[in-house]
Amino acid sequence: MRLLVVEDDEDLNRQLVTALNQAGYVVDTAFDGEEGHFLGDTEPYDAVILDIGLPRMDGLRVLEQWRADGHKTPVLLLTARDRWSDKVAGIDAGADDYVAKPFHMEEVLARVRALLRRAAGHASSEIECGPIRLDTKASRVTVDGNPIKLTSHEYRLLAYLMHHQNRVVSRTELIEHLYDQDFDRDSNTVEVFIGRLRKKLAVDAIETVRGLGYRVSPPVGS
Ligand code: CA
C-alpha cells in the first residue's frame, strides 16, 4: 500500500514515515500544502495522512480541493489540538478520520489500517479469502489455520490483492501501490513474487488473467 504524509513538522514527518515504513507501507512525503495537494492530485495513494496547519496551503483547503476534483482517497487528518471545531471542519471538508496531536503512533497505525480496510469494503481487521486469512493487525497470514511465513514484499503483495479480491489488479497498479518511484518497472519482480506466493500458499487462489493482471478469489470448492 502506498501512502502520502503531508506534515510540515520535520521531526513528526520523519517519525510518521519511519513507523509507516516499518509497518510495511511505501510512503511519499510533502512538507507544505501545495506540494501535498499536487502529489495527492497526481499519484494513486491508498491513503493520505494530512496535517491541518500547513504552510502555503491549509490542510482543509487541500482536502476540499481533492474532494471537489473527485478524489476519494481515504484521508486521516492530524488536528493540532483536541479542538472540536477542527474536527467538524475536517469532516465537513471530506476527511474520513482524524487524530488529535499529540498522538501515539500506534493509534495512527490502527486508524490507517482501518481506513484501508474500509476503503476496500472490509469491516474487521481480518480479511478472508476461502482458506486464506490475512490478519492486518499482526501482518500474519494463515491457510486453513496454518501460519505461512512470508517476506515483507510477499506480504504486501498478498495484502493488496486480498484487499481488492475478486477484481483484476494490473501489474502497473501493483507497482504503483507497492513500490517506490525508482522501482524498475521493466523487471519481472512482480511475476517472481506472485510465483513465490503461489508456492507458499499452496492453494489455487491467485489467478493470472492474461494481458490484464492478477485476481485473488477463493479457490473453487473452498
Ligand atoms: Ca503543522
Residue span of the structural domain in which 131 resides: 126-216
Are 30 and 110 in the same domain? yes
Are 7 and 99 in the same domain? yes
Are 101 and 42 in the same domain? yes
Q: Which residues surround ligand 1, an ion (CB under 5 A)?
A: 8, 51, 53
Which of these three, 62, 90, 120, is where a domain ends?
120
- Rounded to the nearest whole angstrom, what is the distance from the C-alpha of residue 137 to the centroid of ligand 1? 28
Assign 169 a pLDDT band (cuts: 50, 70, 90): very high
- Rounded to the nearest whole angstrom, what is the distance from the C-alpha of residue 37 to the centroid of ligand 1? 15
Are 56 and 140 in the same domain? no
Output the domain CATH number for residue 77. 3.40.50.2300
pTM, entire model: 0.80
Mean per-residue pLDDT for 79-97? 85
Q: Residue 76 domain-assigned?
A: yes
- Rounded to the nearest whole angstrom, what is the distance from the C-alpha of residue 52 to the centroid of ligand 1? 6
Give me the chain's average pLDDT, please.
92
Q: What are the pLDDT digits (tens) for 135-150?
A: 988 899 999 999 999 9
- Rounded to the nearest whole angstrom, what is the distance from the C-alpha of residue 98 to the centroid of ligand 1? 14
Are 115 and 6 in the same domain? yes
- Rounded to the nearest whole angstrom, what is the distance from the C-alpha of residue 104 to the centroid of ligand 1? 17
Are 18 and 93 in the same domain? yes
- Rounded to the nearest whole angstrom, what is the distance from the C-alpha of residue 51 to the centroid of ligand 1? 6
Per-residue model confidence (pLDDT) at position 184:
75
Q: Residue 96 domain-assigned?
A: yes
Three-class secondary structure assignment of the chain: CEEEEECCCHHHHHHHHHHHHHCCCEEEEECCHHHHHHHHHHCCCCEEEEECCCCCCCHHHHHHHHHHCCCCCCEEEEECCCCHHHHHHHHHHCCCEEEECCCCHHHHHHHHHHHHHHHCCCCCCEEEECCEEEECCCCEEEECCEEECCCHHHHHHHHHHHHCCCCCECHHHHHHHHCCCCCCCCCCHHHHHHHHHHHHHCCCCEEEECCCEEEECCCCCC
- Is the pLDDT at 115 greater than 90? The verdict is yes
Are 116 and 131 in the same domain? no
Are 168 and 62 in the same domain? no
How many separate domains does the chain show? 2
